[in-house]
Amino acid sequence: MRITDLMIKETMIMDLQATTKDGAIEELIASLEASGRMNDRALFKEMIYKREAESSTGIGGGIAMPHAKTKAVNEATVVFAKSSKGVEFESLDGEPAKVFFMIAAPEGAANTHLRTLAALSRLLIDTDFIDKLMKTQTPDEVSELFDAKQAEEEAAKEAKEAKKETDKAQKTPDVIVGNPNSDEFVVAVTACPTGIAHTFMAEDALIKKATEMGVNIRVETNGSEGAQNVLTADEIRRAKGVIVAADKKVEMDRFDGKPVLQRPVSDGIRKSEELIRKALNGDAPVYRSQGKGNAEEATAEKTSVGSKIYKDLMNGISHMLPFVVGGGILLAISFLFEQMAGTENPIVKLLQTIGGGTGAFHFLIPILAGFIAMSIGDRPALMPGMVGGLMAVNSNAGFLGGLAAGFMAGYVVILLRKALAGLPKALDGLKPILLYPVFGLLITGTIMFYLFDPIFGGINTWLVNVLNNLGTGNAVILGLILGGMMSIDMGGPFNKAAYAFSIGVFTSSGNTNGAMMAAVMAGGMVPPLAIALASTFFKNKFTEQERKSGLTNYVLGLSFITEGAIPFAAADPLRVLTSCIVGSAIAGGLTQLWQINLPAPHGGIFVAALANHALLFLLAVAIGSVISALILGLWKKPLQAK
């Protein structure tokens, strides 16, 4: 079957009008619906967004492939569209999407259809082909281009099969993929939830990059038709490392004892070289299948204790953040109403109950502790960790006590696994549902009650008192440090450490001491705002695409979403990071010099009115942003000089 049998001309959109992701999806669905190949628009749209929630189908390189496999589709169809302006599609590389393929597959799609969709996905790895596709003007040109390309691919495949048969007849050893003179060999598995697009794009990207690097590779795909090119035991044994680029569960026990990189399928597409190099160097945890050890206990040569602690901590913080943002915004709104209507207003009471100490904020430390514990000891550690975190809240051990509870509960469960390993096999079913929860909770709770709660309660009280009594000079230095940390890695460990510290102070003070929150919020708002200003006023130093992306950073910066600056930092780390760190540190220091208190953990400009000196807070952000923008704009070379 030809790709163009599915990509019918009547559905093609040669000039997509949408400017947003939602708008683009709506326009593509409308074209599909008009073709009569869909029977339930609402269900199809729901399934498209369900796939987007798992990971963006904006794969980068200007391509987006929203797709769904559902009974809402009558006949397998691909809707092709182009956008001259580009659409912000939350793509993996942060760049707008310009070429769109909406793949609609029926629930019982025939194997022929699935293979054709896989062939389409593979073609999109070819950047030259995409460039030609962007230059097409009519649906006929699109169809001709795909037909010619598919014919070329099929001819190459036939030649390869013929050579394989010749080699077999001559008893020539089978060559995998790559340089036959190289003994460097890795294996990989690719899989995505729907098994239609990303699975095969990751396969092709890994094979293409391995060929360029002179590395032999064998890739197994777990697509809609099931596992294809299944790895043999001998291939796994000979491989120097294993790459699992998957967003769904794959068979892992066969990799026991091998260095295994487990990454999202999108990394297989966009970070293929990095994955291959790490696999070759054995730079990955050694996988241990169930019953032969625990994956968490496996270590690689280059995996440090610090990186393991950071991974566990980030697991707790990432799960805590929705409670911070949701509860914090509602709490901030309640403060605004309180200023206008007083503390007895029913709306104020409602919002403070939902967002404050008896609502979302009550869960911050238990959630943090629970998911730190789960990262260490897996699911059996979740409950003891959460209870330990709750005990920290109730005993005034606070944020620090919650951290300690999370790490302790995780390692308590690991120790229990070892201690109970000698029990009869008949009791294995009781371990996760009875023994681990009961003994894990008992041990964690006892240590918290008699040791950690008193110790960390005292430390927490001392820390809050010290911060409340800081002199102006010391406070400014702390503000400089916290503000600068927000820009060092823009969402990484330094950024999260500064934010977590400020949240700890804020919650420990009964949600009143927002001095540190003012410093980190100002510092975190500076990078995207500085990028936006620099790309606006130094236009000759940014590409047209960068200038368009820069405009979105006005909104991101004002909303306290530091991550908007990441694509620019990745492209020019020295200039962008240095300039942003300087401006963020100045903004953070100014908030402390002017003794600004901002009793809200998130929201940016939308909660600025809550600050005791709202205008000074905005001025601190503006000064830091302008300074960073000037440094970046003056330092960056004009495009012509590059």
Instruction: State the catalytic residues.
Output: 67, 192
Task: Give the three-class secondary structure for 283.
Answer: coil
Distance of CA 251 to CAs 151, 248, 264, 483, Å? 35, 10, 15, 45
For the chain, the C-alpha Rg in angstroms (whole number) is 28
Distance of CA 14 to CAs 9, 67, 131, 403, Å? 10, 19, 15, 54
> Which token pair is 333?
């709104």
Task: Give the three-class secondary structure for 565.
Answer: helix
**Residues 134, 50, 190, CA angle at the centre, nearest 5°?**
70
Q: Are strands 97-106 and 77-87 parallel, antiparallel or unpaired?
A: antiparallel
Q: Which among 193, 28, 225, 31 has a CA at the least distance from the CA of 118?
A: 225
**Distance between CA 589 and CA 627 in Å, rounded?**
14
Task: Give the three-class secondary structure for 615.
Answer: helix
**Distance between CA 137 and CA 114 in Å, rounded?**
28
Note the residue count of the chain.
Answer: 642
Q: Are 381 and 407 in contact (CB under 8 A)?
A: no
Distance of CA 150 to CAs 84, 251, 420, 495, 564, Å? 25, 32, 58, 47, 38
Across 395-424, b (16+ Cβ under 10 Å) vs e yields: bbbbbbbbbbbbbbbbebbbebbeeeeeee
Q: Are 623 and 587 in contact (CB under 8 A)?
A: yes
Backbone angles phi, psi at 14, to 5 degrees: -85, -10
486 half-sphere exposure, CB direction, 13 A CA radius: 39
**Distance between CA 151 and CA 156 in Å, rounded?**
9
Instruction: Name residues whose C-beta falls within 8 Å of residue 149's C-beta, 6 or more positions apart in sequence.
Output: 123, 126, 129
> Which token pair is 393?
């809240």
